[in-house]
Structure 1
């Protein structure tokens, strides 16, 4: 039994009611006074050079980069609901340099390109930071680094090894770590000063939309794209309010069913859940000792992520999420899946074990959302209609930074440019498709169970997970 499973076993129904009973079932980030008013939906036919479908990070970065490269380009962005309402407005706000879901995954899947992809990933994060600064985006962005923690004895040596291999990483013994963040579960730590930033995720989406509009992008919300069709002259994007005819179309719909139907088999929606704590008192903040607003993750297969944030009244709160990765039969994205009381209870129990002196703090918000997961854990690309339509998806939980990189690739593809990026296997090769249900459902259940078993046995992966690794069919959040 892991320390977290033990915490679950000791967590009572009374604790659940006390800590979670008053939590609102909405993403904390979206309840913000700076959220812009809804924009009007498309209500007439239109023409433009480029239509971007999707008002999350992928679509917004695509629109912004397209206008920066060609200010005269006429760009329309269509969003089915509100800007940033889905994954872009409900994630943890970890903005990472990695384009391959970590070094080990990148080396295993693209050994010949990994070193260059690592360089490009850091370059992408630096350019993202420069864009935030240049446009004075109010999104609480900071190059914070990340603290990785060992919660089981065998993980301590993993961190020592990582520290020897990374000039930007610093190993922390249990005693050193106690001076940073106080938790009885943390047996060692590794602080990586480079490669991770922290951001207010919803504000980033809203500020990207602001900048896009200032550059001349026309944004329509409440506009569902029903289908796209092409003829020799243009591509038509059909919505209930009108048809937009364009020379090029960029699809940034991520976890939602791809408008290029043959691409749907490459992603499945995995649901991730998070809690936001009530504000900490000054005494509780002093006990915690978490002075800098870097993020924290652990090394388990079923890992947690947590971070500090400051609310509108200047009070510290802790976001705590992860661990569960839930696939629902049929692979649908449904609003009711955003709530899962079993996952919220589990997270509350783990939080109390991690920070026992905050065990009665309680939570103000509980929410979940769908992650566009592909079998290689990092995005893939596709084109259709003689290169006039481009699509990307499959970010698998690391899209806050990687969407900007993918957006640049899509603009290259749509412009017909042969670049270093468009020639890379990273772009030209596809992940393995997921099988249909019931096979995907059963496979996801078995994989999750085997990940739990590996966590109980010093991370040693059993036959099922080793086989999945060997064939390249992964399951992760």
Structure 2
């Protein structure tokens, strides 16, 4: 093993961190965080203005966090529904514009990675979300109805019959599914590391092993020196709590994953996913998976506890009970996998805002820009955030800067211990809701009530 995830382990060579910041420095833009958000922002800034002096500061190395550990879905997903976006924006058209732009973003990532020679195993097979109980099927039908209400046709989202769904993915107990073509499976660490190499060749200075401890009035402070700039970009997602003054802005929630050993062609013939579709099902406690380019099942889900004080530690990357449960769920869905070995388990922190509404923004007076709060749907959204930040920082008014997540301010999370109590109560509620729905055949009222607590 050469890194914190299977994706890092399978890089062509082990990661060698770049040197830290050598001392005090100046730039036009300093970006804190070398994940997707920070790297895409640097990329589009340099594409628009090659003379722009950009410095990226990273506490570990590019792609160390969620950008190198996630499920590899470059999707058009947004953590809030169309109706919630329309309510927040006060406009149906704004919600439609955001969704259509996210749809297009999946292709943008594919086009840029191809043009820049980043081989991240990009395969646009779409996403299939299975309905495996009558309640899940009802929710799938409601989801498609909402998309129709907002003008999205079958070319964007469609409902599959049980037979159609099983032809794509032969899981047990399938009653139907939704399908969208707007998703690509990727190898996330390859994308993060490749993008870092590209922006470095463009003239961006990347200093790894350089944690920023505070950002204030155009200055990012680190143990190795301070960087002054006209704009500081906070691109720290699940690690935002490490920046002084931002501990309650984003809650780090752990998502855990496993990768099986490579499967045989016969096993894949029995399972499906011939186009490397990403997949999930309609349960409340989220699961997600993909067929990797080398023929493994990469499968993950929620279930790990929130840690008091938004704590982030390497030992939280492993949770034997949750990893065992993930393998049980995988075996239950695909009995052909029961004797297949797990070759790697891992985990990592993703960023959750209090209202589950991702945002991008720029306070020019404070010299501070930010993006994040993707709730696990950041592979595609981070690209859109990077393009949007590049426009905002350069003072350009474009269709991207008019999207409804721009300038959105999520409320802060509660003080402890209320944050810890609420987050872990929610975990129990959603876990219990899935069991309740399987037992009763009715939608869980507890899940609906907790959804209101989150503002959905």
TM-score (norm 1): 0.85
Structure 1 unaligned regions, length at least 5: 1-22
Query: Residues 250-399 of structure 1: matches in 2 within 5 Å?
Result: 250-257=233-240, 261-311=244-294, 316-383=295-362, 386-399=365-378
Name the SS for the 1:237 alignment partner. strand
Name the SS for the 2:253 alignment partner. strand
Find 2:112's aligned residue among 125, 131, 136: 131
Q: Which whole-Å CA distance do the structure 2 matches of 1:263 and 1:239 have between them?
A: 16
1:191 aligned residue: 179
User: Is contact 1:387–1:413 with CA below 8 Å preserved after alignment?
Assistant: no
Find 1:205's aligned residue among 192, 215, 226: 192
User: Is contact 2:98–2:404 with CA below 8 Å preserved after alignment?
Assistant: no
Residues 154, 247 of structure 1: alpha-carbon distance in 2 compared, 3 angstrom cutoff: closer
1:173 aligned residue: 161
| Deviation per residue, 1:210-256 (Å, 9 max, x gap) | 110121111111111223344xxxx3333222332222221211111
Query: Residues 7-18 of structure 1: matches in 2 within 5 Å?
Result: none
Residues 249, 182 of structure 1: alpha-carbon distance in 2 compared, 3 angstrom cutoff: same
Residues 225, 162 of structure 1: alpha-carbon distance in 2 compared, 3 angstrom cutoff: closer
User: Is contact 2:213–2:244 with CA below 8 Å preserved after alignment?
Assistant: no
Residues 120, 336 of structure 1: alpha-carbon distance in 2 compared, 3 angstrom cutoff: same
Residues 127, 290 of structure 1: alpha-carbon distance in 2 compared, 3 angstrom cutoff: closer
| Deviation per residue, 1:50-82 (Å, 9 max, x gap) | 111111001101110110111111111111111
1:414 aligned residue: 393
TM-score (norm 2): 0.89
**CA drift at 1:385:** 7.0
Name the SS for the 2:309 alignment partner. coil
Find 1:246's aligned residue among 229, 251, 254: 229
Find 1:153's aligned residue among 120, 134, 141: 134
Query: Residues 24-173 of structure 1: matches in 2 within 5 Å?
Result: 26-35=4-13, 36-107=15-86, 109-110=88-89, 112=91, 113-160=94-141, 162=143, 165=148, 166-168=153-155, 169-173=157-161
Residues 451, 105 of structure 1: alpha-carbon distance in 2 compared, 3 angstrom cutoff: farther
**CA drift at 1:355:** 1.0
Structure 2 unaligned regions, length at least 5: none
Residues 150, 125 of structure 1: alpha-carbon distance in 2 compared, 3 angstrom cutoff: same
**CA drift at 1:131:** 1.4
Give the root-mean-square deviation of aligned CA atoms.
2.5
**CA drift at 1:45:** 2.9
Q: Which whole-Å CA distance do the structure 2 matches of 1:322 and 1:69 have between them?
A: 38
